[in-house]
């Protein structure tokens, strides 16, 4: 591969990363605006529009983790690949069982793991984007960005005044998951976010600060279901998919041809069967439930996504470490 080809690929990758960052930021801004509008027109108590937005955003995000086997074992023999998938699914099923069996503590564990995974993953995306831009003189301050980037979209929606209604819709046993420490949790997250903002301002990282500002606004303004789903599907998943394009051979071929749109599409398409499989699995579980089907479907969709985060987080840890070394 000659220097010209490498340059074309790097420029195409930069285009993908930049577009995805702009797109995810724009979607979050639109979600904030729509949440304000729908709350005014339909009422903040109405959950129908919230469920529609949440399920749509969650569905968008599911495929991004379906390529873990290709990233981890790109040239593995069928037997080794089968073993990997079996272990991956077993971990996810164990996590589903744990969440359903230990509702509150399983939920708390998932919240903490999700905040960690999302914060580090978003930091890795920005680190890779900086590397593509050639901004290597100043290392990205992961310690300043990751905690706030993970806690704001995951924790704040669960401790605001509207979380009770949302958790009632999802699973009423989770209503008091925080054991009454809502104010303390809000203050702690706000303090962490403030320190992060100060650190980013001191380093003149204003675009990164805008990201945190958007996440804080989404978590504060949008209903909890909408806030988490939009973040998961249209922010975290999109940015992770952009990172996958640097690892998949077919995406790299598209980059060589300076076709960044095709490269991104080729990272999405293989994950679509996982979306169908997840929805079928959740529908079957909901069918065996004696509760309201729509409520059960939403709850089990969230449980399945939370459970898949466990093996996904394990698999992506190596990828994240490599990105954060840049």
Average pLDDT for runs of 10 along the chain of length 326: 65 94 95 86 65 73 71 72 85 83 81 90 93 76 92 89 70 80 93 95 93 95 86 92 90 92 88 68 55 59 77 84 78
Cα(98)–Cα(112) distance, integer angstroms: 15
Cα(206)–Cα(18) distance, integer angstroms: 15
So where are the chain's domains? 3-324
- From start to end of the chain, where are the E strands? none
Residue 179 corresponds to which tokens in the numbers above?
């054991």
Under 8 Å CB-to-CB from 103, ≥6 apart: which residues? 171, 173, 174
Cα(317)–Cα(41) distance, integer angstroms: 43
Helix, strand or coil, per DSSP, at residue 290: coil
In this prediction, residue 293 carries a pLDDT of 47
Cα(8)–Cα(2) distance, integer angstroms: 10
Cα(183)–Cα(175) distance, integer angstroms: 15
In this prediction, residue 311 carries a pLDDT of 85
Cα(264)–Cα(96) distance, integer angstroms: 30
Tell me 326's DSSP state.
-
- In Å, how far from its chain's centre is CA 278? 16
Residue 286 corresponds to which tokens in the numbers above?
């909901």
In this prediction, residue 8 carries a pLDDT of 83
Residue 184 corresponds to which tokens in the numbers above?
């303390």
Are the C-beta atoms of residues 136 and 192 closer than 8 Å to each other? no
Tell me 64's DSSP state.
G
């Amino acid at each position: 591969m000659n220097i010209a080809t490498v340059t074309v690929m790097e420029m195409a990758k930069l285009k993908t990363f930049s577009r995805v960052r702009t797109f995810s930021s724009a979607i979050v801004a639109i979600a904030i605006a729509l949440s304000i509008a729908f709350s005014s027109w339909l009422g903040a108590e109405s959950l129908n529009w919230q469920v529609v937005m949440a399920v749509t955003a969650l569905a968008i995000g599911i495929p991004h983790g379906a390529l873990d086997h290709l990233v981890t074992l790109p040239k593995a023999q069928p037997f080794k690949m089968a073993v990997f998938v079996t272990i991956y699914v077993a971990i996810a099923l164990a996590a589903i069982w744990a969440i359903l069996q230990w509702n509150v503590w399983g939920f708390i564990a998932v919240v903490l793991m999700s905040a960690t995974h999302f914060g580090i993953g978003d930091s890795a995306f920005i680190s890779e984007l900086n590397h593509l831009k050639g901004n290597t003189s100043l290392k990205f301050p992961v310690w300043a960005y990751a905690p706030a980037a993970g806690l704001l979209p995951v924790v704040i929606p669960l401790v605001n005044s509207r979380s009770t209604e949302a958790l009632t819709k999802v699973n009423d046993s989770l209503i008091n998951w925080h054991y009454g420490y809502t104010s303390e949790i809000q203050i702690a997250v706000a303090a962490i976010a403030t320190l992060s903002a100060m650190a980013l301002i001191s380093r003149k990282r204003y675009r990164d600060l805008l990201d945190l500002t958007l996440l804080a606004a989404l978590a504060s303004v949008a209903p909890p279901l909408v806030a988490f789903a939009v973040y998961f599907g249209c922010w975290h998943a999109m940015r992770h998919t952009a990172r996958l394009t640097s690892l998949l051979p077919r995406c790299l071929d598209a980059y060589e041809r300076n076709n960044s749109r095709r490269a991104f599409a080729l990272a999405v398409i293989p994950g679509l069967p996982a979306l169908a499989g997840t929805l079928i699995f959740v529908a079957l579980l909901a069918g065996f439930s004696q509760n309201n089907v729509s409520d059960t479907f939403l709850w089990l969709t969230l449980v399945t996504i939370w459970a898949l985060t466990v093996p996904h987080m394990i698999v992506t840890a190596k990828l994240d470490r490599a990105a954060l070394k840049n």
